[in-house]
Chain A
């Protein structure tokens, strides 16, 4: 299982993806606009979706890095908090970009092009995300690279529009303690999202596996956004659990396995959304073997997500 040091290394490795990766994705998307190439645009959207997925463990492993720096006298805890808040602010835009990108990929199948409104939203969101990610990375770098600070003695400002106070973990944790209904409401939404996501995953992948052969794939393609809304509900509520009680999750093996299942399932979703020809299959048509393998793996992975989620308090120590 992953040790606390492994998790810090994961943070230091992954944190390059949301910054460098975003610049690459943005460049690709701008090139697509210049060349008026829809294929390149879809490539950019796929890159954004992938980075949005990777950004989740990037953010979460930050808590391990924070824990390892606790009590280190040369490290400013205010700076660590500011980095965390800025990173969460950037993450919100990153995830919004990931969802819009997925929607753009999904809807381009029927329209044979990426819609102008989606293109505009992607340009706007990715520009904002690059700025906020850069800011978060900059503050993160200062935590352990004091040589780049111009005035190392100057007090660090923890105010600023780039990191609203209500995004601090402390604020979110305290809010949940003071408002017991908040956790119950989040749990309820998390379970509803689970059902929506799991229902769509199950039905769609069973068709790919050969059930309901008399139905064309087109109809199942229309169901996909509903599964994604379920996932959106669960990632928002899930992140709020995580931020509220981060230290009972970061070293919890059940949580690591749950995240691994989510990332792998996210990879499946990207493949199945990218390959538009899968959804052109008419009634009676059978999917190729690779697609069947991915479909089966999706069902298994989402059951794994439910299993490790439910086991958080039992294999690990979360409640």
Chain B
């Protein structure tokens, strides 16, 4: 708890939390987090849909380039997520939704990596083995869980209040 307190009391955390700037203040990082979400979960959705057979005329191998954007979104969100966390570390660390989100996120990244390995190894785009299809379904569900738990963090923090 002392550590969380220390993070939250860093001058930069307070400056961001209280800044009205729409360029580097709290609102800006919320926006960056939303775009990063669109990149990661959005590309995740499209890759999973394609693996499940939607848009099967697209060779899976041509989706490789999308993973660069996917990881760009991931790092944007790692950065913006850490910054948002710093502004209210003691409050956010107390809600279980945060840990649910992190677990689902780790699993979703694992599923995405498995899909990526399949895309890299495949010569024949026509047939997707059942195990990979199941991974895609799990991956879709996990992204939904990440978005839902992430969204609920804000309400949970608000409802339980911050430690003063």
List chain A positions with a Cβ less than 8 A from chain B: 184, 187-188, 191-192, 194-200, 202-203, 206, 211-216, 218-223, 226, 303, 306-307, 309-311, 313-315
Contact = CB atoms under 8 A, between A and B. Distances in A.
A27 B45 CA distance: 40
Contacts of A223: 46, 49-50, 54-55
A309 B136 CA distance: 30
B46 A307 contact: no
Contacts of A194: 34, 37-38, 42
Interface stretch (B58-66, B103-111, B126-134): B58-66
B109 to A, nearest CB: 16
Given A187-B151, A200-B46, A303-B35, A195 B57 contact: no
A198 B38 contact: yes
Chain A binding surface SS class? helix
A319 B68 CA distance: 34
Contacts of B57: 215-216, 218-219, 222
A303 B20 CA distance: 21
Contacts of A199: 38, 41-46
Chain B binding surface SS class? helix
A226 B44 CA distance: 13
Contacts of B31: 306-307, 310-311
Q: How large is the interface on B (under 10, 10 to 19, 20 to 34, 35 or more residues)?
A: 35 or more
Interface stretch (B3-11, B83-91, B140-148): B140-148
B12 interface: no
A255 to B, nearest CB: 15
A100 to B, nearest CB: 20
Contacts of B20: 314
B155 interface: yes
A118 B105 CA distance: 40
A191 B37 contact: yes
B137 to A, nearest CB: 15
Interface of B: 20, 22, 25, 27, 30-31, 34-35, 37-39, 41-46, 49-50, 54-59, 61-63, 65-66, 69, 143-144, 147-148, 150-152, 155
Nearest to A213: B62
Contact of B49 (A212, A213, A226): A226
Given A184-B151, A188-B147, A202 B22 contact: no
A285 to B, nearest CB: 13
Contacts of B59: 214-215
Contacts of A309: 34
19 contacts: A184-B151, A191-B151, A192-B147, A195-B37, A195-B147, A198-B38, A199-B38, A199-B41, A202-B39, A203-B46, A203-B66, A212-B58, A219-B55, A220-B58, A223-B49, A306-B31, A306-B35, A310-B30, A314-B20
Most buried by A among B27, B34, B45: B45
Contacts of A216: 57-58
State the 6 A-B residue pairs at the shortest beta-carbon distance, nearest first.
A199-B42, A219-B58, A219-B57, A198-B38, A219-B55, A314-B27
B75 to A, nearest CB: 17
Nearest to B41: A195
Contact of A219 (B37, B45, B56, B61): B56
